[in-house]
Amino acid sequence: MINLEVPKKARALVNQARQAAAEVFRPISRKYDRAEHAYPTELDMLASLLDGLNSSGEGGAGAAGVRRNDDDKRNGNRNGGNLSTVLGAIEMCWGDVALLLSMPRQGLGNAAIASVANEEQLKRFSGLWAAMAITEPGCGSDSAAITTTATPDGDDYILNGEKIFVTSGERADAVVVWATLDKSKGRAAIKSFVVEKGTPGFEVVRLEHKLGIRASDTAVLRFDNCRVPKQNLLGSPEIDTKSGFAGVMQTFDNTRPLVAAMAIGVARAALEETKRLLEEAGVKIDYDKPANAQHAAAAAYLQLEADYEAAYLLTLESAWMADNRKPNSLQASMAKAKAGRSVVDITLRCVELAGTLGYTEELLLEKWSRDAKILDIFEGTQQIQQLIVARRLLGKTSAELK
């Protein structure tokens, strides 16, 4: 039976993550929002601490993998790395989501490596900071429409193509690139490759200026006859038209709950700040009275808080299922869809409830409302998540329900 209370073994981690968010992230949040593209050097020591937590098996607030290993099944419920990572991410993003995305060696590419890599690759890429490169100029939400090619050539693959909106694309040590081995075979031929910085033919074209998450660098990458060793392909090189895309898509079973956790952290930060402002203004939020018998601002706050709780529970469920080796693609998409939409609604309403204070830089509310939107977009947009949920519930394939 699933228990969605924070497990005792994770409480120390949650407390440590909350302290890091309060003492490291919050004080520099506005500084790096204004200094877009400047690397937050304050994160280096914190990143080393998270490396230690991850290597000890306790889990940090960064990237972990969803590994389906039948030999690792255990009796009873397990609360492992995925749940710990989600809980840690919630706390850290209560501090600042862009700074978490800027943490060394905690990139989404690290989640891909942790999920799909074989044992030799896990050891070889240990300690590497990896970004994730999926989106292309002509390929947004449909990840199966990848046009970047990987052509076998002796002991290497030759990569050609362009990737956009790559988080940590400039700062990371390597990039996990999605490319197709054979366009004629569709999504089954799409594989992921680890391309390290300094590889000839790999170029960072530019950095984007963004609405939110400004502390995080977002890059455009180009691959021009970029030669990558065959041993850098994650998973099997075989093209299986029945399940060939499942390997790379398995990454999303982990990263979507992680992005949902980021959204929950931002939403909670906005709710806590708004509650403080309402109480200072003399608006009491009474959980023992019906909403329609309270101040309009209190009633609105209760509605937002209920939305937050629903997203929070869905996210914990998807992470718990991953820890217990249960297929969680449906729950991961449900959590991502709910949390992504909720954080946008919550932060904007909180700005509204705070009035002029919410719209100025005196508080972080306006920043959180800007940061929130990307959490409803990347790792699959709101519309794509709803489509995935519909396919799962109706038993339809991607060809049957578009």
Catalytic annotation, residues: 379
Amino acid (one-letter) located at 307: D
81-95 vs 296-323: helix axis angle to the nearest 10? 150
Of 352, 372, 397, whose CA–CA distance to 263 is shortest? 372
> Residue 86: is it exposed, middle or buried by C-beta count within 10 angstroms (0-12/13-18/19+)?
buried
**Distance (Å, rounded) from C-alpha 283 to C-alpha 295?**
7
User: What are the backbone dihedrals phi and psi of residue 224, each rounded to the nearest 5 degrees, phi first?
Assistant: -125, 100
Helix, strand, or coil here: 326?
coil
Among residues 354, 214, 366, 224, the alpha carbon closest in space to that of 279 is found at 354
Q: Quick one: three-class SS letters along 166-222?
A: EECCCCCCEEEEEEECCHHHHHHHEEEEEEECCCCCEEEEEECCCCCCCCCCEEEEE
- How far from the centroid of its chain's Cα atoms is residue 152's Cα? 31
CA angle 260, 265, 268 (to 5 degrees): 120
d(CA 262, CA 289): 31
| 157 vs 59: CA distance, rounded Å | 34
Tokens 């982990």, located at residue: 254
Residue whose entry in the numeric block shows the structure tokens 């990307």: 374
Strands 202-207, 218-229: pairing is antiparallel
Q: Taking the CA atoms of the chain, what radius of gyration do you get in angstroms? A: 21
Q: Which amino acid is at 306?
A: A
Is 332 in contact with 348 (CB distance < 8 Å)?
no
- CA–CA gap between residue 34 and residue 199 (Å, rounded): 32
Q: For residues 157 and 87, what is the distance between their CA atoms, to the nearest angstrom? A: 38
